[in-house]
Amino acid sequence: MMMEKCHYLIALRMKQTKVLYILHQTILMGGGTKSFLIMLKGLMEKGIQPIVAMPNRDGVYATIETMQIPTIVVPYFDHTYPWVHSAKDVILFIPRIIRHRTMNWIAVRKIAKAVSGMGVSLVHTNVSVCAVGYVVSRKLGVPHIYHIREYADLDHGLHFFPTRRSYLRQLAAPCSYNICITKDIQRHFQQTGHAASRVIYNGIQAAVHDMPTSPKEHFFLYAGRVIASKGVMEMTEAYHAYLQQAQVPIPLYIIGEQPDKVFYERLTAYLHQHHIEQYVKFFGQRSDIQDFMARALAIIIPSPKEGFGRCMPEAMFCGCLAIGHNTGGTREQLDNGLELTGGEIALRYDTNEQLTHLLHEVGTRPTNDYTSYVQRAFYAVNQLYTTESNVEGVYDFYRQIIHQ
């Protein structure tokens, strides 16, 4: 009886728990933002009362406003060194560091003041590269969680200010916790085996029982940002080699924003130089991406070091065959699927030459030759990457932190 009463009181206190969430950017279609919104909605259904701080009113701000969540909007920057792409960037390097640190100091004071007296129990920062939430938590005297969604250096070329070691010290500080979205990221930040660290995979969607069975069309698909760190150029080179072999070429559809103008111009110049622009079609950002996934012959996941990579499990939920670069979070997902089902859930490759070969194979063989891959993949994502498992994992971690 006493134990039941204890569980009841803990559940009641959790329903009164207020959590301050810190977003480092507001890009609506970004993977981190999508994962955050799915997590947030699930936690709200469990009674968590959120407050969200963000650096501007762009993108996801309108979505959060419609959810009637209290927001704090104040400009701040990532806790990383500024980019250096030009002579101008070199000249402005030190001034930008000073400006970013000053604005972050102001933001910490404003956010802490805004939530003071509101009974915040926990501060949860949505990424690893923004330290504003960590400093706010120290001022409030409450625990902090870094949600580590990226390698930072290996995937985005970012470097922690002032040093990586200083960031690791934050992770090891009292009342400091972290959620890593893969085991490999957890290893990268030296958190394996630490009680303050948990691996909780992203939630893609609610579990479904029946796999979609849309008729396949003759196109390969890439879905994601059109930037160098996603392996888009390497994929294009492998696709060019495929075209030189193909008797009936299958076009490549590229869906996603193009935030890096210099890279996009270099990519289109490559297509023009090799006379293959007629086979590569750019769609920009689309809200109907799942329809493309369902119809695609295969989706290509070319990133050389993906943190987790939402696009692959999203496609697998749609019954789409995946061709994945055997590295980083992509490899971990493939290994998880292999361990769970006893068979491969996608086609792996390690080199551009192997990708070219796989494109040729998929383009010439009957689609039902890959049915077993697609079925195993659908089963795996429904076991490992559902919104239910993600939300339950985060909620349990909150409960452990707050009531230990």
Hey, where are the domains in the chain? 2-203+386-403, 220-384
Residue whose tokens read 């419609």? 66
Q: How many CB atoms lie within 10 A of CB 14?
A: 18
3-state SS of the chain: helix, strand, coil percent to 5? 50, 15, 35
CB 260 within 8 A of CB 227: yes
Question: What's the rounded Cα separation, in Å, for the pair 378 and 314?
Answer: 10
Cβ neighbors of 39 (< 8 A, separation 6 or more) are 203, 387, 390, 391, 394
Mind listing the pLDDT tens digit for each residue in 70-94? 999 999 999 999 988 889 999 999 9
pLDDT at site 319: 96
Question: What's the rounded Cα separation, in Å, for the pair 318 and 312?
Answer: 10
Question: What's the rounded Cα separation, in Å, for the pair 336 and 117?
Answer: 44
Residue 241 sits at φ, ψ, to 5 deg, of -65, -35
What is the number of helices (H) and of strands (E) in the chain?
Answer: 17, 13
DSSP state, residue 80: B
Question: What's the rounded Cα separation, in Å, for the pair 188 and 373?
Answer: 30
| 2-203+386-403 and 220-384 have identical folds | yes
pLDDT at site 92: 95
pLDDT at site 8: 38
- The residues pairing with 221 across neighbouring beta strands, listed in sequence order, are 253, 299
CATH superfamily of 220-384: Glycogen Phosphorylase B; (3.40.50.2000)
Helix (H, G, I), strand (E, B) or coil at 284: strand
CATH superfamily of 2-203+386-403: Glycogen Phosphorylase B; (3.40.50.2000)
CB 168 within 8 A of CB 188: no
Residue whose tokens read 């609506």? 28
Q: How many CB atoms lie within 10 A of CB 7?
A: 10
Residue 161 token pair: 């200010």
Q: State how far the alpha carbon of 306 is from the alpha carbons of 10, 301, 319, 324, 387, in Å.
A: 37, 9, 22, 11, 20
Q: Which residues of the chain have pLDDT under 70?
A: 1-15, 404
pLDDT at site 30: 77
